[in-house]
Amino acid sequence: MAKQVTDQAEGLRRLLAKSGSRVVAVTGGPVGVGCTSTVVNLAAALAMLGKDVLVIDERLGVNAVSSMLGGAHGAGSVRAVLNGEVELEQACARHELGFSVLAASRENCAGFTAAQLGRLLAGPADVVLVDARLERGGALSPLAAQAHDVLIVTRVAAQAITEAYACMKRLHFEHAIAQFRVLVNHVSSLADAQTTFENLAEVAARYLTVSIEEAGCVAADPLMERSLELGRCVVDAFPSAQSARDYRHVASEMLYWPMRPAMSSPRQDAAVRTAMPASALADALVARQHA
């Protein structure tokens, strides 16, 4: 209890003093769970709360933030920032909703040290959201690995939950991450979201010995799909939609997450992998759903 109070007090002190950015890496299991749309909507919601927000986009092509959201074109020259040729603020594209976007693919960040990459995270922003693209082995980039929190996005479906567990398993062994935050996306009811979270948390605690914190949930909403068709985020296009209200709630709660130390770089030692196989997890989740 004392440690929890200390963590909360430290988080509030840093928030009020604006000393350092909160860095959150957002990722998940399969394509389609909504990681990039989560990043965009949280960025917009945080900007509406008066926060200075930087989105670091590790994705390429149609999956990039700039491709999903109009008004964020020209988000780049991360290599020039890392080389010290331009300031971070000059390289970022400023979106009309009030947040900045910097394209930082693995290819453009290759060859730089963790300390050099940390320059992107040490700027004036209150919150840095990294739309993290995982390596084939499931590891975070050296940039995203410096985040304070990893937010796993999943959906209410056995396959998505299984993939989220597999994602956490790989990240746990690669980076020794002891805690994840989980956002359940596209939910039909709060009860479904709660059941999904509890199932995932229990299995992860039992077989990975990691803790999972509930980040919230976002309703299944046809206006979300419509906002994407318009090249906008639902928080801006349809602010009264349930999904928009959900994103605003998650964003406001994020500001009070206890500030934790940044994660370490990938582990070099071989871990003993005794975690539950993904196939067994799927069976366990199905069994719990029908219990």
- pLDDT (tens, 9 = 90+) of the chain, 291 residues, equals 444 444 554 444 444 434 468 999 999 876 678 999 999 999 999 999 999 999 998 887 766 777 776 545 555 568 888 888 888 888 888 888 899 988 888 888 888 888 888 877 877 899 999 999 988 888 999 999 999 999 999 998 888 888 999 999 999 999 999 999 999 999 999 999 999 999 899 888 888 889 999 999 999 999 999 998 888 899 999 999 999 999 999 999 999 998 777 665 444 443 334 455 555 555 555 555 555
What is the reported pTM? 0.84
Q: What are phi and psi of 96, to 5 degrees?
A: -65, -20
Give the helix/strand (H/E) hosting 204.
helix 190-207
- Nearest-angstrom CA–CA distance, 102 and 53: 11
Domains assigned to the chain:
20-259+273-289 (3.40.50.300)
- Nearest-angstrom CA–CA distance, 264 and 105: 20
- Nearest-angstrom CA–CA distance, 167 and 179: 13
- Nearest-angstrom CA–CA distance, 128 and 115: 17
What Rg do the C-alpha atoms of the chain give, in angstroms?
A: 18
Where does residue 4 rank: exposed (0-12), middle (13-18), buried (19+ CB within 10 A)?
exposed
